[in-house]
């Protein structure tokens, strides 16, 4: 990544030609072939170089910034871009999305997407992609390290040594071998953690809202309370939903063993911080490791405040669970490929707010097009589209819906330039149209 905060790449001397129409709206306009160098992409927050390289290789115009932008600056920048890539600090609110006149796709180069108004994005026909699994290993390794650090009180010993205090003690310091690790959420991170913990001699129990096949000798527990009661270490790996917000409060903490440990590397809203601070200061819990918080600073610096500061045997880290070179590189590859497939082919597989639709690769043949039609999910739409395409050769077609929107892809062959314009006009003028794109 260049040292400067901003880097606008000039279009390549010989752009890769990719004919078709990337734009699309409820306003009917004349289609014309475009080159990939006309696609404008804005990448913020020091998105990994693997993504920058992949997107520039397509011939897109890629502008990069090392940090998040102030709201007024972002509103100005986003007006004419087709795609934006962000991490966790940039907030794409309704106000910002409404200013994005050409925006068709958002890439979240991270796990979470709660920094984006997903519902409003889908209503505007903007697909959102993320990378939910690329940093799973990094998070699992951090949790293993924190289990060892907490069991030996290494955070407190390290702080004392930096203050010149020699405090060699063994009281309340333990090996992790033979201890029980309780995992809340047995997804990609939880299951990897399960394997790592067993390899270090721990017993693994897990709780999940759906029945899952245990790995190794781990066992699923029927209720959260039961898991809390039997575990020496409890680690949280759940998404942020209405059901998981504040799921660990005073009642749940009191259910945990006296002297046990809590680790949260999932979402900041999962644990009620005042209740956790109380449990730590009273000695009911032996320690905690927290990597995520309900409110996190928007930039690096001396901005962090929490009731957990100063609690005994408490490890606080600034949301770095997935912050490794390996994880960021994999995220860059995964999200950039999803963006390229959407821009070039209309593929929405992996989108978090969009129906997931894909067709075989586009045939780059003369007089063939791909129709990508995002519309309101109401009865009668497919009948209208069938009427429009009735006199044409539809090679393949697929449609799916998600909530209030639906997405249709159709490949059509043996069409003249005039017929392409007519198809685009008629589909765009349907009352349910959100975005109509024709790739050719």
Task: Note whether 194 and 143 are within 8 A (CB).
Answer: no
Q: Is 267 a catalytic residue?
A: yes
Q: What is the dihedral of CA 61, 62, 63, 65, to 10 degrees?
A: 180
The token pair at 61 is: 């115009």
Cα–Cα distance, 387 to 218 (Å, whole number): 56
Cα–Cα distance, 62 to 339 (Å, whole number): 13
Q: Which helix (H) or strand (E) holds 254?
A: helix 250-255
154-162 and 136-151 are packed helices; what angle lies between their axes, rounded to 10 degrees?
A: 70
Cα–Cα distance, 212 to 426 (Å, whole number): 48
> Which among 240, 296, 356, 422 is annotated as catalytic?
296
> Which among 157, 319, 370, 437 is annotated as catalytic?
319
Q: Is 65 a catalytic residue?
A: no
Cα–Cα distance, 103 to 124 (Å, whole number): 9
> Which among 18, 267, 370, 375 is annotated as catalytic?
267
Cα–Cα distance, 429 to 427 (Å, whole number): 5
Cα–Cα distance, 322 to 186 (Å, whole number): 17
Residue corresponding to tokens 């860059």? 332
Residue corresponding to tokens 């070179």? 325
What CA–CA distances, in Å, run from 24 to 130, 344, 374?
Answer: 23, 14, 10
Q: Is 296 a catalytic residue?
A: yes
Please report, for the chain, how many H helices and E strands are present, in that order.
Answer: 13, 17
The token pair at 148 is: 């060892």
Catalytically annotated residues: 267, 296, 319
């Amino acid at each position: 990544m260049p040292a400067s905060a901003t880097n606008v790449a000039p279009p390549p001397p010989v752009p890769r030609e990719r004919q078709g129409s990337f734009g699309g709206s409820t306003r009917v306009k004349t289609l014309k072939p475009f080159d990939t160098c006309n696609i404008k992409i804005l990448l913020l927050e020091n998105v990994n170089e693997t993504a920058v390289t992949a997107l520039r290789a397509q011939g897109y115009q890629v502008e990069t910034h090392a940090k998040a932008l102030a709201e007024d600056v972002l509103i100005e920048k986003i007006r004419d871009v087709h795609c934006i890539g962000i991490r966790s600090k940039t907030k794409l609110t309704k106000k910002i999305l409404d200013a994005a006149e050409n925006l068709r796709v958002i890439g979240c180069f991270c796990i979470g997407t709660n920094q984006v108004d997903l519902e409003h994005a889908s209503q505007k026909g903007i697909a959102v992609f993320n990378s939910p699994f690329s940093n799973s290993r990094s998070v699992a390794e951090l949790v293993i390290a924190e289990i060892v650090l907490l069991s030996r009180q290494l955070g407190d010993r390290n702080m004392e040594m930096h203050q010149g205090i020699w405090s060699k003690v063994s009281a309340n310091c333990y090996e992790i071998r033979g201890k029980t690790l309780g995992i809340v959420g047995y997804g990609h991170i939880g299951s990897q953690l399960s394997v790592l913990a067993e390899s270090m001699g721990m017993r693994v129990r897990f709780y999940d809202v759906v029945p899952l096949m245990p790995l190794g000798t781990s066992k699923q527990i029927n209720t959260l309370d039961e898991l809390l009661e039997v575990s020496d270490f409890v680690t949280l790996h759940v998404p942020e939903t209405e059901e998981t917000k504040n799921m660990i409060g005073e009642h749940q903490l009191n259910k945990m063993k006296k002297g046990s440990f809590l680790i949260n590397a999932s979402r900041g809203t999962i644990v009620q911080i005042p209740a956790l601070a109380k449990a730590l200061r009273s000695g009911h819990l032996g320690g905690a490791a927290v990597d995520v918080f309900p409110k996190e600073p928007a930039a690096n610096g001396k901005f962090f405040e929490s009731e957990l500061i100063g609690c005994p045997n408490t490890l606080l880290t600034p949301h770095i669970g997935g912050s490794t070179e390996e994880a960021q590189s994999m995220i860059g590859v995964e999200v950039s490929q999803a963006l390229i497939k959407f821009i070039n082919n209309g593929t929405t597989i992996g989108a978090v707010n969009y129906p997931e639709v894909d067709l075989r690769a586009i045939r780059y043949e003369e007089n063939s097009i791909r129709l990508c039609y995002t519309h309101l999910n109401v009865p009668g739409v497919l009948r209208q589209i069938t009427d429009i395409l009735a006199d044409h050769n539809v090679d393949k077609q697929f449609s799916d819906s998600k909530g209030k929107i639906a997405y249709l892809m159709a490949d059509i062959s043996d069409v003249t330039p005039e017929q392409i314009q007519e198809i685009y006009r008629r589909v765009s003028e349907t009352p349910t149209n959100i975005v109509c794109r024709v790739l050719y």
